[in-house]
Structure formats: C-alpha cells, structure tokens
Amino acid sequence: MTRLLAAPIVLLGLWSAAALLDAGTAGLVPAPWVVLAQIVRDGWAFYGPNIWPTLGEAARGFLWGNGLAILLALVVLLLPALQRVVLQLAAVSYCIPVIAIGPLLTLVFSGRTPMVALSALSVFFTTLVGLLLGVRATDRTSLELVRACGGGRWQCFRRVQLPSCLPALFAALGIAAPASLLGAILGEWLGSVQSGLGVAMVVSMQQMAAPRSWGIALVSGAIASLAYGLVAQIGRWLTPWRREGSA
C-alpha cells in the first residue's frame, strides 16, 4: 500500500511546488486543489456530454485495432512465412505521425470515423507485437509432446500456444486501453467534431482557462487508469496460472 501511494504523493508534491513557482508569473499551473474545485464546479453537466463521445470512439478503436492485430497474429501463426511482412506493416503503422495522418483522415472520412481510426491505429502495433512475442515464447517441449501424442496444429494451438500467449495478450491489451483513449482525444484535436474531451480541451485552452484545461487532463488520466486497471483485472481472472510478477 505504501508503494502504491508513493507515486501519487510525489506527483502531488511536485505539482504543488510547480504551482507555487508559477503563481507570480503566467499562472498557467494551478494548484491541485484549484483544479479539483474546478472539476466539482463543472460537474457532470460539463463532463458527461464530452466523456461519452470520447469513450465511444476509444471503445470502437480498441475493438477494431485489437481485432485486426489478433487476426493478423493468427495468420502469422498459420503461415509463419508472412511474419516479416506483417511486422513491417505494423512498424509502418506505428511510425506514421498522428499529426500527419490525422488531417488526412479528416479529409477522407466524416463524423467520428477519423477519431476511431486514430484510436485503432494507436493500439494495433502494441497488441500485434505483444501477441506474437507471447506465441514465440511457447515452450517447445510442450509442443513436441502434443505432436508426439498425435495432436495436430489445432491441438497445439488450443492446448499449448493459446494458454501460453494469453498473459502477453492481456499485458498488451492493458497498454492498448489507455492508448485507444489517447488516440481518440488526439483525433478530436485534429478533427471537426463538436463534442469530446479533446474538443473541450481545445476550447478551454483558447479561453485561457487553465484550471479547466488541467481538470480535463486529470479526468482523462483517471479514465485511462481505470481502463488499464479493468483490462488488467480481467486478465488476472482469465489467466490465473500466470505468475504475479509477470503482470
């Protein structure tokens, strides 16, 4: 518990110190209690209409990006010769700057589709590589044992490779959960929608409303942390055989 609380306490201390140092200058670093008070004043009437659209974009991007990553990982598992091509495709998608592709997606697609696409792009590489690494770490002796008992490729996958790669998959999904939210928010920054956490952030920055801007960032971070914790907990439920230190 002490280690769990150490990081937030240190962060709050640094934040408070930065606010005191900035108090006599630009005043763009409000104290933590000022930000919390602004969040309370804004309330659900402000955050509700902005949180739900962003969560919807992030959820759809999470499903599309991870679904495509898992599908390509299965293709590589069945056709190992395609692994180099698939990994090159993943690397290219990871290296494309969001600031460059975001406006292009806005020109090609309408509505919230660009935000969903950026969200999916933010999670695709992490899940694909994590899943492939998990498959590669499969115990070869166990595979040979299944083959010696007459098992084919499907039996090897179901009995050995799938249980072996699930911990790595959920570790990647845990990283992908907050990444999908970040991709959706960045998409809203670059897009033309009228609501969302990214839109609210842009408007508050244009109005020089520092406490509200920091409040939106704090709420976004809290949502991302909850998403990570939820996926991690599901992973612990579904993979009870993995060691605690491997999480």
Per-position DSSP letters for 147-158, written without gaps between them: HHTT--HHHHII
Q: What sections of 79-112 are H helices per DSSP?
A: 83-95, 98-108
Question: Which two tokens mark 37?
Answer: 């008070």
Q: Domain ranges in the chain?
A: 31-240
246: confidence class by pLDDT, cuts 50, 70, 90:
very low
pLDDT (tens digit per residue) in 98-130: 777 877 888 788 788 889 999 999 999 989 988
Q: Which fold has domain 31-240?
A: MetI-like fold (1.10.3720)
Q: Using an 8 Å Cβ cutoff, are 177 and 62 in contact?
A: yes
pLDDT digits (tens, 9 = 90+) for 161-214: 777 778 888 889 999 999 999 999 988 887 778 888 999 999 998 888 888 999
Regarding predicted confidence, which is higher, 201 or 77?
A: 201
Give the contacts of 143 (CB within 8 A, at least 6 positions apart). Answer: 156, 160, 161
